[in-house]
Structure 1
Amino acid sequence: MDSLSTLVTSMGLRGRLDLLCRFAGAWSVPQPEAPPGQVPYHVVLAGAGVLEVGRERRPFVAGDLVLFPRGAAHTMRHADGATLTFAEVRRPLGRLVEVASEAPRSDFDVLCGTFELGQHHALLLRALPDVVHLHTQGRDDYAGLQALMRSMRHESLQASPGGDAVIAHLSAALFILVVRTLMDQGDLQQGLLALLMDARVAPALAAVIATPAEPWTLERLAGVSRMSRASFARHFAELSPATPMDVVTALRMDLAARLLRETPRSIESIGEACGYTARAAFGQAFKRVHGTSPAAFRRQAGEAATATNLPPFS
Structure 2
Amino acid sequence: MDVLSRLIELARLQPTLDIRCRLQGAFHIDHEPVAAGTLPFHLILGGDCLIRLGSGREITLRSGDFLLLPRGDAHAIIGLRPRGEMQPLRVTTGGMLPLRENGQGEADVDLLCGHFDCAPGSAALLLDSLPDVFHVSLAAESEEMLKTLVAMLYRETAEEKPGALAIITATCLSLFIMAVRAGKASPIASAGLLQLLGDARLGKSAVAIMSSPALAWTIDDLARHSAMSRATYARQFRERAGMTVGAFLTDIRMMLASDLLLRTRRTVADIAAEVGYESEAAFGKAFKARRGITPARYRSAEQARQTGQQ
- TM-score tier, shorter chain, comes to 0.7 to 0.9
Once residues 117 and 176 of structure 1 are traced to their aligned partners in structure 2, the CA distance between those partners, rounded to angstroms, is 14
- Where in structure 2 are the equivalents of 1:124-143 lying within 5 Å? 124-135=126-137, 141-143=142-144
Q: Name the SS of the counterpart of 1:190 in structure 2.
A: coil
Stretch moving more, 45-54 or 191-200:
45-54
Query: What is the percentage of aligned positions where both structures have the same residue?
Result: 32
- What residue is the counterpart of 2:5 in the other structure? 5
Cα pair 1:11 1:255 within 8 Å, conserved: no
Q: CA-to-partner distance for each residue in 1:102-131, whole Å, 9 max, x for gaps?
A: x45562432112233332233222322222
> Where does the alignment leave 5 or more consecutive residues of structure 1 unmatched?
310-314
The answer on 1:276 being equivalent to 2:277 is: yes
- Where in structure 2 are the equivalents of 1:1-314 lying within 5 Å? 1-53=1-53, 54-79=55-80, 86-94=88-96, 96-101=97-102, 103-105=103-105, 107=107, 108-120=109-121, 121-135=123-137, 141-155=142-156, 158=160, 160-161=162-163, 163-164=165-166, 166-308=167-309
Query: Residues 60 and 203 (structure 1 numbering): CA distance in 2 closer, same or farther, change over 3 Å?
Result: closer
Query: What is the deviation of 1:208?
Result: 1.0
Cα pair 1:260 1:294 within 8 Å, conserved: yes
Cα pair 2:40 2:70 within 8 Å, conserved: yes
Query: Residues 274 and 167 (structure 1 numbering): CA distance in 2 closer, same or farther, change over 3 Å?
Result: farther
How does the TM-score come out when normalised to structure 2? 0.84
Cα pair 1:15 1:167 within 8 Å, conserved: no
> Where does the alignment leave 5 or more consecutive residues of structure 2 unmatched?
none
Q: Name the SS of the counterpart of 1:171 in structure 2.
A: helix
- Give the letter for the 1:212 counterpart: P
Cα pair 1:15 1:116 within 8 Å, conserved: yes
- What residue is the counterpart of 1:312 in the other structure? none
Cα pair 1:219 1:229 within 8 Å, conserved: yes
Once residues 180 and 196 of structure 1 are traced to their aligned partners in structure 2, the CA distance between those partners, rounded to angstroms, is 10
Cα pair 1:88 1:99 within 8 Å, conserved: yes
CA RMSD after TM alignment: 2.9
Stretch moving more, 32-41 or 70-79:
32-41
Q: Name the SS of the counterpart of 1:265 in structure 2.
A: coil
Count of residue correspondences: 305
Query: Residues 307 and 31 (structure 1 numbering): CA distance in 2 closer, same or farther, change over 3 Å?
Result: farther
